[in-house]
């Protein structure tokens, strides 16, 4: 094959640069437009929504809201009692729900779960990877068991669920994967070193998964991704929140957080923070050098004190 003439190569690169700039500007305009005019909420009536960690806290709040919207909710938790309570709440509100017990750290069990759910209920349309734990103490006081459990549940649990449910989404080019990261996945916080690491990992998983599917030769445009980064939500995990300016940075009510999470999924947002203004304030914070960031952190005085 003859080598491409240098002048043709240069012209081709110039054309690609111009085309890239035009496409970038179009996407920026579309994003700005969506800030003013949000995307319409999609209808999930009859869709199968699977929520891990559905037996309590945010998982329960999210599951019950999807139930009210007419979705078939698959509640997954390792705690059978709490999980059944969530299912009962959904059914009490005329919703349709199913309970499955599964340890998301057990890959074989997760694969069996996927087969059973598809057989019993159908193929999952929306996967909400919510299950997680949050040991809160200085890193040198966290036990090996606590650190391993944090990584197994918060990180590997996401990966096993993706491996189990993504193939069917790829086959039909349709689906939505939702991951619960945290503001602790955007900034480091005292007493949460392993937890922060796990939530940074969740964001990395979601970002790289989106890139991987974008570069897949198959058409994968029908598969959506949403990463949720909440601030301190009053679900019981945060026993000792420390907030200097409570009027500005108060803890978030679980119900309010769940409303924003479900809304983000229905509008197919790529990533949100709760509260929403933290999305932009965090970007500004990251413009500062690390030493200046520490000064801001000291002034804001927000975080979590250790607890057992």
- For residue 265, the Cα-to-chain-centroid distance in whole angstroms is 10
Which residues partner with 97 through β-bridges? 73
* Span 162-186, average pLDDT: 95
User: Of the candidates 307, 243, 198, 258, which has an alpha carbon nearest to the alpha carbon of residue 69?
Assistant: 258
The angle at the Cα of 282, spanning 183 to 63, to the nearest 5 degrees, equals: 35
- Overall size of the chain counted in residues: 308
- In angstroms, the first-to-last Cα distance of the chain is 68
| Confidence band, pLDDT 50/70/90 cuts, at residue 249 | low
Is 90 exceeded by the pLDDT of residue 158? yes
Q: What is the pTM of this model?
A: 0.89
- Domain boundaries 41-304, corresponding CATH code: 3.40.50.720
CA dist., res. 136 & res. 132, Å (int): 13
| Confidence band, pLDDT 50/70/90 cuts, at residue 252 | confident
DSSP one-letter code for 192: -
User: Of the candidates 242, 131, 148, which has an alpha carbon nearest to the alpha carbon of residue 194?
Assistant: 148
CA dist., res. 98 & res. 111, Å (int): 17
The pLDDT value recorded for residue 233 is 73
CA dist., res. 155 & res. 204, Å (int): 10
* Span 235-257, average pLDDT: 68
The pLDDT value recorded for residue 85 is 97
User: Of the candidates 67, 49, 194, which has an alpha carbon nearest to the alpha carbon of residue 130?
Assistant: 49
- From the candidates 195, 200, 231, 269, which is the catalytic residue? 195
User: Of the candidates 191, 276, 298, which has an alpha carbon nearest to the alpha carbon of residue 228?
Assistant: 276
Backbone angles phi, psi at 273, to 5 degrees: -115, 155
pLDDT in tens, 111-145: 999 999 999 999 999 999 999 999 989 999 999 99
The pLDDT value recorded for residue 157 is 97
The angle at the Cα of 206, spanning 204 to 211, to the nearest 5 degrees, equals: 95
Contacts of 14 (CB under 8 A, 6+ apart): none
User: Of the candidates 60, 130, 52, 125, which has an alpha carbon nearest to the alpha carbon of residue 88?
Assistant: 60
Give whole-number Cα distances, 107 to 16, 35, 54, 111, 294, in Å. 43, 39, 19, 6, 39
User: Which residue is associated with the tokens 């709490």?
Assistant: 82
Backbone angles phi, psi at 238, to 5 degrees: -95, 90
User: Of the candidates 266, 280, 265, which has an alpha carbon nearest to the alpha carbon of residue 227?
Assistant: 265
Is 90 exceeded by the pLDDT of residue 270? yes
CA dist., res. 22 & res. 292, Å (int): 36
CA dist., res. 140 & res. 181, Å (int): 23
The pLDDT value recorded for residue 31 is 86
Is 80 exceeded by the pLDDT of residue 2? no
Which residues partner with 169 through β-bridges? none
State yes or no: is 98 an active-site residue: no
The pLDDT value recorded for residue 251 is 72
Is 60 exceeded by the pLDDT of residue 1? no
């Amino acid at each position: 094959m003859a080598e491409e003439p240098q002048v043709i190569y240069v012209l081709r690169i110039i054309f690609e640069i111009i085309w890239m700039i035009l496409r970038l500007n179009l996407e920026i305009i579309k994003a700005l437009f969506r800030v003013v005019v949000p995307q319409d909420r999609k209808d999930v009536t009859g869709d199968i929504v699977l929520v891990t960690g559905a037996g309590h806290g945010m998982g329960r709040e999210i599951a019950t809201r999807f139930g009210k919207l007419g979705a078939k909710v698959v509640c997954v938790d390792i705690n059978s009692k709490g999980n059944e309570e969530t299912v009962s709440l959904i059914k009490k509100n005329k919703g349709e729900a199913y309970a499955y017990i599964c340890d998301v750290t057990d890959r074989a069990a997760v694969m069996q779960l996927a087969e059973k759910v598809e057989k019993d209920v159908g193929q999952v349309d929306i996967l909400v990877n919510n299950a997680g734990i949050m040991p809160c103490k200085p890193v040198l006081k966290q036990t090996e068991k606590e650190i391993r459990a944090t990584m197994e549940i918060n990180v590997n649990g996401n990966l096993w669920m993706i491996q189990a449910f993504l193939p069917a989404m790829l086959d039909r080019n349709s689906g939505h994967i939702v991951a619960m990261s945290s503001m602790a996945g955007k900034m480091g916080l005292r007493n949460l070193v392993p937890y922060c690491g796990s939530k940074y990992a969740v964001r990395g998983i979601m970002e790289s998964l989106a890139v991987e599917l974008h570069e897949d030769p198959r058409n994968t445009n029908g598969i959506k991704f949403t990463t949720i980064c909440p601030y301190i939500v009053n679900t019981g995990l945060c026993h000792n929140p420390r907030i200097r300016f409570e009027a500005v940075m108060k803890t978030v009510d679980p119900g309010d957080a769940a409303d924003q999470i479900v809304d983000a999924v229905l509008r197919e947002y790529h990533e949100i923070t709760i509260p929403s203004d933290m999305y932009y304030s965090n970007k500004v914070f990251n413009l500062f050098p690390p030493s200046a960031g520490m000064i801001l952190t000291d002034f804001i005085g927000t975080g979590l004190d250790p607890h057992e």
